[in-house]
């Protein structure tokens, strides 16, 4: 069997079209434009490119978007004051602070300072708690993107054995929580593997849906995958440069061998990656609707 590709690029494009229409409707009917501020402290090149991509997408969708470029020398107090200003700005519905922050700033303190109603990254403990009890307003973006990939590819999660490799707070734990909810697009039996797992292949071979977020190139090989499994590769590993000077990427799954065994598989790049920014936009539209009291 050769797996069909799940194209995150194509699914993200469809969702962005829907969000563009929704944004136009909000403006026309309720005079509300989803407002997003992205805050960048310093000049980390990867962070700069992520923030630029987020700004570009939000503008394409018709958002009211502001980019705050702050110097590396910004103090924690100044950043907290800036967040407070946007917490009180009624035109801004989503606040995104790009991580990592410079070492002299406490990231936890900063993330906790964002009004949970404007926490479109879904990292505030209030939103993490709501996700765990199945009452989320905002799901964290990468896990939300994975769930959308499954739903929109027609993958049945109800009753499925889902095995997740990785237990980080931004991918592994939240996707586990999302998929075990007694809800549409979820209701799976979930197992999480990590470096303390005794026999990882024993678990991964049982997976109807295998989600890998380990940050280890080609950690999952064909012998670890059940025939016909759906494989979602979250990993983004830089493994050198292309002749054009761009980073050469690979996932956590040995794509060439695993695609011969899986039924559906996400590529890297072009799989989970494009969904993350799209889900940030979806959360911002939702935040604008909640703020405006629109169903």
Interface contacts to ligand NAP, rule CB under 6 A: 142, 165-168, 170-172, 193-197, 200, 213-216, 219, 234-237, 272-273, 276
Cβ-closest position to ligand NAP: 168
CA gap 124, 258 in Å, rounded: 36
Query: In the bound complex, what is the minimum distance in angstroms from residue 215's beta carbon to ligand NAP?
Result: 3
Q: Toward ligand NAP, which CB reaches closer, 180 or 200?
A: 200
> In terms of Cα–Cα distance, which of 58, 124, 133, 73 is closest to 97?
124
CA gap 203, 68 in Å, rounded: 45
Q: Toward ligand NAP, which CB reaches closer, 53 or 66?
A: 53
Query: In the bound complex, what is the minimum distance in angstroms from residue 238's beta carbon to ligand NAP?
Result: 9
The residue written with tokens 């502001």 in the block is 66
Q: Toward ligand NAP, which CB reaches closer, 42 or 215?
A: 215
Known catalytic residues?
54, 98, 121
Query: In the bound complex, what is the minimum distance in angstroms from residue 217's beta carbon to ligand NAP?
Result: 9
- Count the Cβ atoms, other than its own, within 10 Å of residue 276: 23
Q: Toward ligand NAP, which CB reaches closer, 214 or 229?
A: 214
Query: In the bound complex, what is the minimum distance in angstroms from residue 234's beta carbon to ligand NAP?
Result: 4
Tokens of 198: 């005794």
Instruction: Please report the DSSP string for 160-201 in residue order.
Output: -EEEEE---TTTHHHHHHHHHSSSTT---EEEEE-TT-S-HH
Looking only at the bridges linking them, the beta strands covering 64-70 and 35-41 are parallel
Query: In the bound complex, what is the minimum distance in angstroms from residue 210's beta carbon to ligand NAP?
Result: 12
Looking only at the bridges linking them, the beta strands covering 230-233 and 264-265 are parallel
Q: Toward ligand NAP, which CB reaches closer, 92 or 249?
A: 249
φ, ψ (nearest 5 deg) of residue 236: -130, 105
């Amino acid at each position: 069997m050769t797996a069909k590709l799940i194209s995150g690029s194509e699914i993200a494009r469809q969702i962005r079209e829907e969000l563009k229409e929704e944004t136009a409707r909000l403006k026309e009917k309720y005079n509300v434009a989803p407002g997003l501020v992205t805050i960048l402290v310093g000049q980390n090149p990867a962070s700069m490119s992520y923030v630029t991509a987020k700004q570009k997408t939000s503008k394409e969708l018709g958002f009211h978007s502001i980019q705050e470029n702050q110097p590396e020398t910004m103090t924690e107090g100044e950043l907290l004051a800036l967040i407070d200003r946007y917490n009180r700005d009624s035109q801004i519905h989503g606040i995104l602070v790009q991580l990592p922050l410079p070492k002299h700033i406490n990231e936890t303190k900063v993330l906790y300072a964002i009004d949970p109603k404007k926490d479109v990254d879904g990292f505030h403990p209030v939103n993490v708690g709501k996700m765990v009890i199945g009452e989320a307003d905002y799901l964290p973006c990468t896990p939300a993107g994975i769930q959308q990939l499954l739903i929109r590819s027609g993958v049945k999660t109800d009753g499925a054995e889902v095995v997740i490799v990785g237990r980080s707070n931004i991918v592994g734990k939240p996707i586990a929580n999302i998929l075990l909810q007694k809800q549409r697009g979820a209701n799976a039996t979930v197992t999480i593997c990590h470096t303390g797992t005794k026999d990882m292949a024993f678990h991964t071979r049982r997976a109807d849906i295998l989600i890998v977020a380990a940050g280890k190139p080609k950690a999952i090989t064909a012998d670890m995958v059940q025939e016909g499994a759906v494989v979602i590769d979250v990993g983004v590993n830089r493994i050198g440069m292309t002749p054009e000077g761009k980073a050469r990427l690979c996932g956590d799954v040995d794509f060439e061998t695993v695609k011969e065994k899986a039924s559906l598989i996400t590529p890297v790049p072009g799989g989970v990656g494009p969904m993350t920014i799209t889900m940030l936009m979806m959360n911002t539209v939702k935040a604008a609707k909640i703020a405006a009291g629109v169903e």
